[in-house]
C-alpha cells in the first residue's frame, strides 16, 4: 500500500475517534448544570434597615413676623451663636414708640386727676362733717326753743327762727352728702380711666416690643431669610407671619430619615444605628432611635396620608429620628445622611448566602420525585399526591450538593443580614449549597447533576 493511502486512512481513523470521544463526552455531560456553590457557616448576623434623610437639630425655632414694619437693622449673621434674649433685628419703631410715649403721658395725667379727685372727696367729707355738726346744734336749739315757746318764755319769732335754722342745717347735710358721693364717683372714674390707660399702654408697649426681635432659645443662627429694608407682616388667621430666620440648638443633633413601609415594623425605640454623612466621607457616627412615626407619608409629596382624600397606591414612608451620640462640631442642618438601623442581631448561628434560597411548589417537587424514582434515583423520597390547592403553594429551601447531584432541602430562616441569612432548621454547619447563578437556580431541579464552577465572573468592560 502506498504511503499517501496509509496517511489518509490514519487521518480518517483519528477523525472517527475524535467524533466518538466528543459524542461520548457530550452524552456523559448531558443534563449537567454548571453552578456556583457556598457553604453553611457559623457567624454573627445583623439585620439592618437602611434609610436616608437629613441632619436636624432636636430643638430649633423658626422666628416669624409678629409685628408690621420695615427692617432697619439685622444684628446677627448666619453662623453666629446667640443666647436667649440677644437682639436679632430691629423694625422701624417711630409710630409704636410715639404711641407708648403718648399713653405714658395720658397715664400721668390720669394719675394727677386721681389725686385731685381724692382731695375733692376729702374736702367733701370734711364739709359733710361740718354740716352734720351744724345740724346737731340746730336740732338742739330747735328742741330747746319748742320747750321755751310752750312755756311762753320766748317769742313766736324766735321759735320760728330756730325751726328755720334746723331745716336749713338738714338741707345743708343732704347737699354735703351729695357732694361727697359725687367726689367719690369722680375718684372711681379716674381710677377706671387709669386702669384703661395702663391696658392701652400694655398694648402699645407690646407693639413696640415686636419691633425688636430677640432670641427665644440658645443656639446657632443657621439661616436668615430677610434683608434690611424688607417689610415684615404678622400672621393672620391661617396664614403665618413673615419667615425671618432659624435658630438651631446643635447641642443635640438628630438624623431624620424616612423608612420604607415594608421595614418600619422592625424599627423600635432604642435600637442602635450607624449614621454616615455625605459631607463627612469615610466616617460613621453611632446613634440610637429616639422616635418612630405612626403616620405614613406619601413619598412624592411628603404629606401625611390622612391629608389627602385620593385613594392611591403610591409608596409610603415613615419618619424615624436617630439621635447621634457624638456629633461632630462641623454638622449643619440639612446635610444628607444615611442611617443603618440594627433591627436584630444573632451570635454564632448557621448562615448561608441569601441568594442560595429558592422557592419550589409542591407540584414541581412531586414531579421531580417521580422522575428520579423512574431513573432508580432515590434523591427524594416518594411524596404523597398533592391536591390542587397545595400544587401552587411554595416551599422555601436550598439545593444541597451530594456527590455531584443536588437535593432540595426545606429550611427555616431567621434574621436576614446584608449578604447572609440565618438558618434555624434544615441545614448544619459545613453543608455545601448552590448559590448561583440566578439562571441556574431558577431552572435547577432536585436530582440534577451539577458541575461546580466558582471562578469569579469577569468584569464587563464598559468601554466596549
Do 298 and 428 sit in the same domain of this protein?
Answer: no
In three-state form (DSSP H/G/I as H, E/B as E, the rest C), the secondary structure along 43-73 is: EEEEEEEEEEEEEEEEEEEEEECCCCEEEEE
Cα dihedral 169→171→176→179 (10° resolution): -160
Q: Would you state the cell numbers that stand for residue 199, as one nine-digit string?
A: 391696658
CATH number, residue 307 = 2.40.30.170
Q: Which of 319, 276, 329, 314 is nearest to 296 (CA)?
A: 319
Looking at the predicted structure, is the pLDDT value of residue 90 above 90?
Answer: yes
Return the sign of the alpha-carbon dihedral for residues 159, 162, 166, 167.
positive
Q: Which of 349, 379, 341, 365 is nearest to 48 (CA)?
A: 341
Q: Quick check: is 112 in a domain?
A: yes
What is residue 364's DSSP assignment? H
Angle, CA of 281, 285 and 291, to the nearest 5°: 125
- The residue out of 330, 345, 360 marking a domain boundary is 345
Do 79 and 117 sit in the same domain of this protein?
Answer: no
Contacts of 33 by beta carbon, 8 Å cutoff, 6+ apart:
440, 443, 444, 448, 449, 450, 451
CA distance 147 to 265: 110
Residue pair 448/400 in contact (Cβ under 8 Å)? The answer is no
Do 182 and 283 sit in the same domain of this protein?
Answer: no
Res 384: pLDDT: 45
Do 173 and 120 sit in the same domain of this protein?
Answer: yes
Do 88 and 115 sit in the same domain of this protein?
Answer: no
CA distance 100 to 107: 10
CA distance 438 to 35: 9
Q: Which of 395, 411, 459, 403 is nearest to 432 (CA)?
A: 403
- The residue out of 315, 345, 375 marking a domain boundary is 345
Q: Quick check: is 196 in a domain?
A: yes
- The residue out of 297, 323, 345 marking a domain boundary is 345
Do 273 and 283 sit in the same domain of this protein?
Answer: yes
Q: Quick check: is 323 in a domain?
A: yes
Give residue 4's Cα distance to chain centre: 93
Residue 281: C-alpha distances to residues 94, 122, 134, 149 (Å): 52, 84, 102, 123
To the question of pTM greater than 0.75 for the whole model, the response is: no
Do 100 and 199 sit in the same domain of this protein?
Answer: yes
Give residue 278's domain range: 50-57+253-345
Q: Quick check: is 4 in a domain?
A: no
CA distance 207 to 151: 82
What is residue 264's DSSP assignment? G
* 432 Rama sector, left if φ>0, alpha if ψ -120 to 50, beta otherwise: beta
- In total, the chain counts a number of residues equal to 464
Res 456: pLDDT: 78
Residue 58, class by beta-carbon neighbours within 10 Å (0-12 exposed, 13-18 middle, 19+ buried)? middle
Q: Quick check: is 23 in a domain?
A: no
pLDDT tens column, 167-214: 898 998 899 889 989 989 988 998 899 899 999 999 999 999 999 999
pLDDT category of residue 330 using cuts at 50, 70 and 90: confident
CATH number, residue 79 = 2.40.50.100
pLDDT tens column, 112-125: 988 998 998 899 88
pLDDT tens column, 259-292: 999 999 999 999 999 999 999 998 999 999 999 9
CA distance 19 to 422: 49
Look over the chain and give the mean of its residue pLDDT values, rounded to a whole number. 85
Res 62: pLDDT: 92
Q: Quick check: is 19 in a domain?
A: no
Return the sign of the alpha-carbon dihedral for residues 89, 94, 99, 100.
positive
Q: Would you state the cell numbers that stand for residue 20, as one nine-digit string?
A: 466518538
Q: Tell me which of 55 and 158 has the higher pLDDT.
A: 55
Do 155 and 170 sit in the same domain of this protein?
Answer: yes
CA distance 305 to 295: 7
CA distance 424 to 40: 12
Angle, CA of 273, 275 and 277, to the nearest 5°: 175
Res 298: pLDDT: 86
Report the range of poorest mean pLDDT among 27-41, 164-178, 423-437.
27-41
Do 154 and 102 sit in the same domain of this protein?
Answer: yes
Looking at the predicted structure, is the pLDDT value of residue 25 above 70?
Answer: no
Number of structural domains in the chain? 4
CA distance 78 to 245: 9
Amino acid at each position: 500500500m502506498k504511503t499517501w493511502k496509509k496517511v489518509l486512512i490514519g487521518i480518517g481513523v483519528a477523525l472517527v475517534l475524535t467524533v466518538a470521544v466528543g459524542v461520548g463526552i457530550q452524552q456523559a455531560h448531558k443534563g449537567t448544570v454548571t453552578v456556583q456553590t457556598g457553604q453553611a457557616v457559623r457567624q454573627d448576623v445583623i439585620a439592618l434597615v437602611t434609610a436616608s434623610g437629613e441632619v436636624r437639630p432636636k430643638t430649633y425655632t423658626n422666628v416669624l413676623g409678629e409685628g408690621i414694619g420695615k427692617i432697619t437693622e439685622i444684628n446677627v449673621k448666619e453662623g453666629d451663636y446667640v443666647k436667649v434674649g440677644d437682639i436679632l433685628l430691629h423694625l422701624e419703631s417711630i409710630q409704636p414708640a410715639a404711641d407708648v410715649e403718648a399713653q405714658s403721658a395720658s397715664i400721668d395725667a390720669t394719675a394727677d386727676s386721681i389725686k385731685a379727685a381724692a382731695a375733692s372727696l376729702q374736702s367733701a367729707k370734711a364739709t359733710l362733717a361740718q354740716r352734720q355738726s351744724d345740724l346737731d346744734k340746730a336740732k338742739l336749739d330747735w328742741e330747746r326753743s319748742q320747750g321755751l315757746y310752750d312755756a311762753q318764755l320766748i317769742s313766736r319769732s324766735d321759735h320760728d327762727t330756730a325751726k328755720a335754722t334746723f331745716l336749713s342745717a338738714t338741707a345743708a347735710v343732704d347737699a354735703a352728702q351729695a357732694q361727697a358721693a359725687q367726689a367719690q364717683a369722680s375718684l372711681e372714674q379716674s381710677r377706671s380711666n387709669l386702669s384703661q390707660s395702663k391696658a392701652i399702654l400694655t398694648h402699645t408697649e407690646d407693639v413696640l416690643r415686636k419691633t425688636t426681635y430677640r432670641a427665644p432659645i440658645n443656639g446657632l443662627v443657621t439661616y436668615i431669610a430677610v434683608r434690611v429694608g424688607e417689610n415684615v407682616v404678622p400672621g393672620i388667621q391661617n396664614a403665618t407671619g413673615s419667615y425671618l430666620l432659624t435658630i438651631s440648638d446643635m447641642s443635640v443633633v438628630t438624623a431624620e430619615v424616612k423608612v420604607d413601609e415594608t421595614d418600619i415594623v422592625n424599627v423600635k425605640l432604642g435600637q442602635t444605628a450607624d449614621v454616615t454623612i455625605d459631607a463627612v466621607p469615610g466616617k460613621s457616627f453611632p446613634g440610637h432611635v429616639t422616635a418612630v412615626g405612626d403616620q405614613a407619608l406619601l413619598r412624592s409629596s411628603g404629606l401625611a396620608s390622612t391629608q389627602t382624600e385620593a385613594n392611591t397606591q403610591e409608596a409610603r414612608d415613615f419618619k424615624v429620628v436617630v439621635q447621634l451620640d457624638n456629633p461632630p462640631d462641623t454638622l449643619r442642618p440639612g446635610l444628607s445622611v444615611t442611617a443603618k438601623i440594627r433591627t436584630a442581631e444573632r451570635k454564632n448561628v448557621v448562615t448561608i448566602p441569601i441568594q442560595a434560597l429558592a422557592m419550589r411548589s409542591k407540584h414541581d417537587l412531586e414531579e421531580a420525585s417521580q422522575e428520579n424514582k423512574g431513573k432508580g434515583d432515590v434523591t427524594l423520597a416518594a411524596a404523597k399526591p398533592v391536591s390542587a390547592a397545595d400544587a401552587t403553594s411554595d416551599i422555601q429551601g436550598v439545593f444541597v450538593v451530594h456527590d455531584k447531584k443536588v437535593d432540595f432541602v426545606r429550611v427555616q430562616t431567621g434574621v436576614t443580614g446584608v449578604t447572609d441569612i440565618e438558618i434555624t432548621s434544615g441545614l448544619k454547619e459545613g453543608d455545601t449549597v448552590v448559590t448561583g447563578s440566578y439562571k441556574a437556580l431558577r431552572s435547577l431541579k432536585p436530582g440534577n447533576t451539577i458541575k461546580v464552577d466558582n471562578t469569579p465572573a469577569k468584569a464587563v468592560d464598559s468601554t466596549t
